[in-house]
Amino acid sequence: MSGKQTNLLQGTLDLLILKALALEQMHGLGISNRIAQITRGTFVVKPGSLFPALHRMEEAGWLASSWGESENNRRAKYYKLTAAGRRQFETEWRQWKTIALAMRSALDAQ
């Protein structure tokens, strides 16, 4: 993992949560760990940012949750993408792809 952490840009947290949940349901700590993993340690999401986002995304209908048991035999709330969440992921992914391409073009311009 990278030794340098970076603050999340506005709008990236939702996309990273959706990406983390694209393959399987996870509990909050699992989501945070997965985000750190897929960003090679660049983004470390703390509970104070993660859980309000999860709650907001659940209210928006992008996530569904259920209680289960974690790997440590502790009670944990598991989150999974809904059909609306999958559509939101695709929409946000396309938008960020366009933004990233535009930024690269702008920064590479002579």
pLDDT in tens, 22-69: 999 999 999 999 999 999 999 999 999 999 999 999 999 999 999 999
Q: What is the pLDDT of residue 71?
A: 87
Checking if the pLDDT of 7 tops 60, the result is yes
Band the pLDDT of 10: cuts 50, 70, 90: low
Checking if the pLDDT of 9 tops 70, the result is no
pTM higher than the cut 0.85: yes
SS (H, E, C) 65-88: EEEEECCCCCEEEEEEECHHHHHH
Q: What is the mean pLDDT of residues 8-16?
A: 82
Q: What is the pLDDT of residue 80?
A: 98
Which of 91-96's residues contact partners 24+ apart within 8 Å by CB, and which partners?
92/11, 92/14, 92/15, 92/18, 93/15, 93/19, 96/11, 96/12, 96/15
Give the CATH number of domain 12-108.
1.10.10.10
Tell me what the pLDDT averaged over the chain comes to.
92
Q: What is the pLDDT of residue 95?
A: 93
Checking if the pLDDT of 1 tops 60, the result is no
